[in-house]
């Protein structure tokens, strides 16, 4: 009996360590994680988007009615806000960090390491704290710091967070302040990977700094540029915490309501998980389409000449 009991563990160990089984053993944790964390929630969300859920155990199939309700005024307003924010987010967070990265890499700025750290520090700041600071800085009172600066420059104080255009401007400024340093690091990593021989060859051909930028730097950092634009588009449409931190409970006319904010309002506040699932899937489809168009326009799928 003792010999039999010793053979069984040996057979089990031999089975688990065989060449045919070992790959599946190593892949199993990833497969289980993918099934539980990604696939199951995705399938459940798709199913719930066609249901009316009145409680944890009560649901009813209603077909496309949740998607038909998406064309409400609140959703259209949230879509417009998120789209406007995403467009400006891509423009600002693509161009401004790139210019700073080129300037820091050029050697014209002394203490570039200090400025890299200075630009990156806001990314480590809590978004709630940043929202409170910007809310006080762009306050409605005449004594708010930004209004005091406007008055000193000869302008008029404004109620920044009470109107859609100025509120979106404050959001963009806060986003630029928070994420510019991260994108600068991305761009610097791409610029530093460009061989110096290319710049030397361009200089021999008589290229000026602007021509070097467009002919050498931009083509050299194209993969990084595509990555930055892709994550910026995703972050623009997924923006939620910044809006909540900036407006908190006061959101006049819903000017700070985004798609994710509308999803939270419908799914958590109103406990309408079916409708929230439809909003989430619509947001997913929108982001995928926009990113696909962006990748096509930037030639991501274009075959390079051999």
Give the total number of structural domains in the chain. Answer: 2
CATH number of the domain encompassing residue 230? 1.10.3720.10
In a domain, residue 302? The reply is no
300 vs 225: CA distance, rounded Å: 11
H/E run at residue 53: strand 51-53
Residue-level pLDDT at 305: 44
In a domain, residue 59? The reply is no
Residue-level pLDDT at 32: 93
Q: Would you say residue 298 has pLDDT above 50?
A: yes
- Give the residue-averaged pLDDT of 197-201: 87
Of 2-6, 79-83, 199-203, give the lowest mean pLDDT range: 2-6
In a domain, residue 110? The reply is yes
Q: Would you say residue 306 has pLDDT above 50?
A: no
| Co-location of 132 and 268 in the same domain | yes
The pTM (predicted TM-score) of the whole model is: 0.79
60 strand-pairing partners: 52
59 touches 277 (CB < 8 A): no
| Co-location of 190 and 81 in the same domain | yes
| Co-location of 8 and 151 in the same domain | no
149 touches 141 (CB < 8 A): no
Token look-up 């600071």 returns 133
Q: Would you say residue 263 has pLDDT above 60?
A: yes
| Co-location of 37 and 168 in the same domain | no
| Co-location of 20 and 89 in the same domain | no
| Co-location of 268 and 235 in the same domain | yes
Looking at every residue in the chain, the average pLDDT score rounds to 84
Q: pLDDT of 155-182, one tens digit each?
A: 888 888 888 888 888 888 998 898 899 9
48, 63, 85 - which closes a domain:
48
- pLDDT category at 185 given cuts 50, 70, 90 is very high
Alpha-helix residue ranges (DSSP H) falling in the chain = 2-16, 22-34, 40-48, 65-68, 73-105, 112-120, 127-137, 145-152, 164-192, 196-204, 209-212, 218-220, 222-237, 241-247, 259-264, 273-297
- Give the residue-averaged pLDDT of 28-53: 88
Radius of gyration (C-alpha) of the chain in whole angstroms? 26
280 touches 237 (CB < 8 A): no
| Co-location of 90 and 205 in the same domain | yes
In a domain, residue 303? The reply is no
Q: Would you say residue 8 has pLDDT above 60?
A: no
What sign for the dihedral angle of Cα 8, 11, 16, 17? Answer: positive
| Co-location of 127 and 223 in the same domain | yes
120 vs 123: CA distance, rounded Å: 6
In a domain, residue 164? The reply is yes
What sign for the dihedral angle of Cα 94, 100, 102, 104? Answer: negative
Residue 91's CB is within 10 A of a number of other CB atoms, namely 12
| Co-location of 8 and 152 in the same domain | no
Return the ∠ at Cα 155 (arms to 150 and 157), rounded to 5°.
60
- Give the residue-averaged pLDDT of 15-44: 83
| Co-location of 169 and 109 in the same domain | yes
H/E run at residue 255: none
Instruction: Pull the structure tokens for residue 88.
Output: 């400006």
| Co-location of 22 and 127 in the same domain | no
In a domain, residue 233? The reply is yes
- pLDDT category at 183 given cuts 50, 70, 90 is very high
| Co-location of 93 and 224 in the same domain | yes
25 CB contacts (<8 Å, ≥6 apart)? 16
220 touches 191 (CB < 8 A): yes
For residue 176, what are the domain limits?
Answer: 71-297
In a domain, residue 242? The reply is yes
In a domain, residue 62? The reply is no
């Amino acid at each position: 009996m003792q010999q039999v009991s010793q053979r069984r563990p040996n057979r089990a160990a031999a089975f688990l360590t065989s060449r045919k089984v070992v790959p599946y053993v190593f892949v199993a944790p990833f497969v289980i994680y993918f099934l539980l964390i990604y696939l199951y929630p995705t399938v459940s969300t798709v199913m719930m988007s066609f249901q009316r859920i009145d409680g944890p155990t009560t649901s009813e199939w209603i077909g496309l009615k949740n998607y038909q309700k998406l064309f409400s005024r609140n959703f259209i307003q949230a879509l417009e806000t998120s789209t406007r924010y995403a467009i400006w987010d891509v423009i600002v967070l693509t161009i401004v960090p790139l210019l700073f990265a080129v300037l820091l890499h050029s050697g014209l700025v002394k203490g570039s390491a200090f400025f890299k750290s200075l630009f990156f520090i806001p990314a480590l700041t809590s978004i709630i704290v940043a929202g409170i600071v910007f809310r006080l800085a762009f306050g409605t009172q005449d004594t708010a710091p930004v209004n005091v600066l406007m008055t000193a420059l000869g302008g008029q104080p404004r109620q920044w967070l009470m109107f859609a255009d100025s509120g979106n401007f404050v959001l963009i400024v806060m986003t630029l302040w928070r994420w510019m340093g991260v994108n600068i690091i991305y761009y610097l990593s791409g610029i530093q990977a460009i061989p110096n021989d290319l710049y030397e060859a361009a200089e021999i051909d008589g290229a000026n700094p602007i021509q070097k930028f467009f002919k050498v730097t931009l083509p050299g950092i194209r993969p990084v540029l595509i990555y930055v634009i892709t994550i910026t588009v995703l972050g623009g449409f997924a923006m939620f915490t910044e809006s909540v931190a900036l407006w908190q409970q006061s959101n006049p006319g819903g000017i700070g309501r985004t798609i994710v904010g509308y999803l939270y309002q419908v799914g958590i506040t109103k406990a309408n998980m079916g409708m929230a699932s439809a909003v989430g899937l619509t947001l997913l489809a929108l982001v995928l389409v926009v990113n696909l168009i962006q990748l096509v326009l930037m030639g991501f799928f274009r075959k390079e000449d051999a």
